[in-house]
Structure 1
Amino acid sequence: MKRIILHVGTEKTGTTSIQKYFWDNREKYRERGLCYPECLGTQNHVGLVTCARGFAENDSIRILQEIYSRSTHERYKRRARLQFRREIENFDTIVLSNEHLSARLRKPEEFKRLKSFLDVEANDVKVVLYVRRQDEFLISSYTAHILAGSTAPFSIPGVDRGHMRYNYRLLLDRWAEAFGIGNLTVRKYQKASFPDGSVVKDFCKTVGIDSLGQQADYNENTSLDANKLEFLRRLNKFLPLISEGRRGFDRTKLLSLIREIELVGPELSSDAEGIVEFQRRFEGSNRYVANKYFGRIEPEGDPLFGASRKRAQKSGRQWDEETAFEIFAALWNRS
């Protein structure tokens, strides 16, 4: 009896740590009868999203995979199914992970395609999903968007846009309807509650997999203060990740260099008035989630996540023209 464990994020909840851990240890796990497939993407199984979604003109995930036509898209899906079937054939447990599944899949037909892709190969499909306090998610998402090439300045999402991305009631009920509430495990992304503070160990414990020794979580947003983010945001206009519907500038070296800069600027803060109000928007939906998926309301603060965790904020010079040249000079010296 084959079992598939499908980890779907959400975004900014340690997904890179989980994916890197299973990718680095995939050969050891294969010896134990567990497969972390290679055919659906290197480390991150982005191919699942490509197989589940239809052909959209401005689909960045599809473009970054260099799939530019409907016919190529269809060939990719057929090939992915065949390769997946062959790769998992001799394994009882399969772990799949992609955070874009929770962010990009919204239409019933997309969930139907994903479920069909998995059900053909396994008798038992379990979905694991982590949720993060919305104000923290908002700030971390902004960093991710800038790293991915966005040129938009930081702003509080409007009610409609925020409703779709940050409303966990809508998100979880969608997955529960598609796969069955008994097949959905929801975890709060709160490092203080994880074994040794590790989301990797928490994930392994949650799904009943032995973890292989010590594993440090990967820090996805190292050294990206507000000034570095602003510099990169403005630079993105001239070095786009996607240009005219094609894959654009390779940003790997640039992002590595900007993370190494020692200049310290101010941090984006979750204590700002607009962000505090943003968190309050979701009190009702968070209360619903706390009751339905956790069976418990937090006694203080947010009904789902509890009281806000205050952090000491780094200070530094605010963004100005001289700051931009200072960052440029630091990059030049490291290049």
Structure 2
Amino acid sequence: MLIEHGILYPEVSIRGFGHHDLAFLLHGQYAKWATPQDRSLTDLRDILRGIVLPSAATTILLSSENFYVYPKPSALRSLLVEAGLHSSDEIVIVCYVRRQDDAHVSWYNQSVKAQGNTSSLNTTIIREHGLWDYATRLQPWADEFGINSILVRDYTPFSQRTADIRDDFLAILGADRDRFHLPAGRENERVNRDILAFQRWVNHLPLSAKKKRRYHKQLIELTAASEGAQFFDDTPLLSLAARETLLASYAASNAVLAKMYLKQETIFDPLEEKDIAAGTALSGLTIRKIFRILAWIAGFRNSFQTIPR
């Protein structure tokens, strides 16, 4: 359907729907938690060129969050030129930014369930603080491609599910949303507090990152299946006060971001208590909960309403 709109999403080592290998190799190496593939950056460049040059598409689309996490904008430009980019071609860099308290919680969830992180949330926040300093992180992209080439979008409506990010992105591409049959639901959901603690225990084992995350999709399914059953602890990982303190540390950066890229004073709405989802606190990770997690992984998926607490 994209190609019918003149949009080419080149099949260059796509994994998990994104061009992650391109991002890693442009950076110079794979992340410790990532599974490398055998082809070199030169190989992928040649594949990209072989797909792009004969195509009649008017738009070439590349996508990976790792272009942001491991930025090499000058190397990306070189790759695009080698793949056929002309000086008259327009480059648009779309970056969805998330309010930093939510971004840290989401990143922590992802890093534990899929990247082998064994650290606490507070340790991870301190270590990764610069990752969500958007003004600083986007500056190299602005230096390379120009401020007017960067389109910054607030992710808040999509995290709150009041809008669909796919609709928004298709509109940016100029594609007819009504012609796309998009599945309902969300990919790569979070895991609750207890299951996160269980995965952190697994991450301490002397296993490869790939083996540590072997069951992360089942654990995501378990979180969804147990919601509302009052069995697992599902309280927010950050209190309102902790979120306010965290957001204050990004206030100056966010002001620069809003002024530079959006020509406005602010980008995110003020934090309110209603923004923090309610949860049920239930005694931490007990033996009974561990047994239920292992049973779910083993394929025993009885209703949570029948489990004695």
* Whole-angstrom CA distance in 1 between matches of 2:249 and 2:164: 29
Aligned with residue 306 of structure 1, among 269, 272, 283: 269
Normalized per residue, which structure has more strand? 1
Q: Any conservation in 2 of the 1:119–1:125 contact (CA below 8 Å)?
A: no
**1:69-148 alignment, distance < 5 Å:** 76-89=40-53, 90=55, 91-105=57-71, 110-120=72-82, 121-122=84-85, 123-148=89-114
Q: Any conservation in 2 of the 1:225–1:266 contact (CA below 8 Å)?
A: yes
Which stretches in structure 1 are left out of the alignment for 5+ residues? 1-27, 68-74, 243-247, 298-302
Cα displacement string for residues 148-178 of structure 1 (whole angstroms, at most 9, x for unaligned residues): 222222215566741x211111012221111
* Whole-angstrom CA distance in 2 between matches of 1:311 and 1:92: 42
* Whole-angstrom CA distance in 2 between matches of 1:312 and 1:196: 15
In structure 2, relative to structure 1, the CA distance for the partners of 1:291 and 1:320 (3 Å cut) is: same
Q: Any conservation in 2 of the 1:200–1:217 contact (CA below 8 Å)?
A: no
In the TM superposition, what is the alpha-carbon distance from 1:46 to its structure 2 partner?
1.1
Q: Which residue is equivalent to 1:318?
A: 283
**Which amino acid in 1 is paired with 2:97?**
V
Deviates further, 144-153 or 257-266: 257-266
**1:16-55 alignment, distance < 5 Å:** 28-42=1-15, 43-55=17-29
In the TM superposition, what is the alpha-carbon distance from 1:280 to its structure 2 partner?
0.8
In structure 2, relative to structure 1, the CA distance for the partners of 1:95 and 1:196 (3 Å cut) is: farther
Query: Does 2:35 match 1:64?
Result: yes
Q: Any conservation in 1 of the 2:18–2:64 contact (CA below 8 Å)?
A: yes
Aligned with residue 279 of structure 1, among 247, 251, 271: 247
Q: Any conservation in 1 of the 2:22–2:41 contact (CA below 8 Å)?
A: no
Bigger RCO (CA 8 Å, 6+ sep): 1
Q: Which residue is equivalent to 1:328?
A: 294
Aligned with residue 261 of structure 2, among 271, 293, 318: 293
* Whole-angstrom CA distance in 2 between matches of 1:318 and 1:217: 34
* Whole-angstrom CA distance in 2 between matches of 1:318 and 1:285: 38
* Whole-angstrom CA distance in 1 between matches of 2:123 and 2:263: 30
CA RMSD, Structure 1 to Structure 2 (Å): 2.8
In the TM superposition, what is the alpha-carbon distance from 1:204 to its structure 2 partner?
1.4
**Which amino acid in 2 is paired with 1:141?**
W
Match of 1:197, SS state, is: coil
* Whole-angstrom CA distance in 2 between matches of 1:223 and 1:186: 24
Q: Any conservation in 2 of the 1:198–1:216 contact (CA below 8 Å)?
A: no
Which stretches in structure 2 are left out of the alignment for 5+ residues? 302-309
* Whole-angstrom CA distance in 2 between matches of 1:265 and 1:158: 21
In structure 2, relative to structure 1, the CA distance for the partners of 1:31 and 1:250 (3 Å cut) is: farther
Q: Which residue is equivalent to 1:267?
A: 235
Q: Any conservation in 1 of the 2:236–2:276 contact (CA below 8 Å)?
A: no
TM-score (norm: length of structure 1) = 0.75
**Which amino acid in 1 is paired with 2:22?**
L
* Whole-angstrom CA distance in 2 between matches of 1:239 and 1:274: 33
In the TM superposition, what is the alpha-carbon distance from 1:223 to its structure 2 partner?
5.9
Cα displacement string for residues 39-85 of structure 1 (whole angstroms, at most 9, x for unaligned residues): 23232101221331224xx7336x51245xxxxxxx61111111101
> How many pairs align?
282
Cα displacement string for residues 243-282 of structure 1 (whole angstroms, at most 9, x for unaligned residues): xxxxx42744x12322232243223244343332111101
* Whole-angstrom CA distance in 2 between matches of 1:330 and 1:76: 39
Q: Which residue is equivalent to 1:180?
A: 146
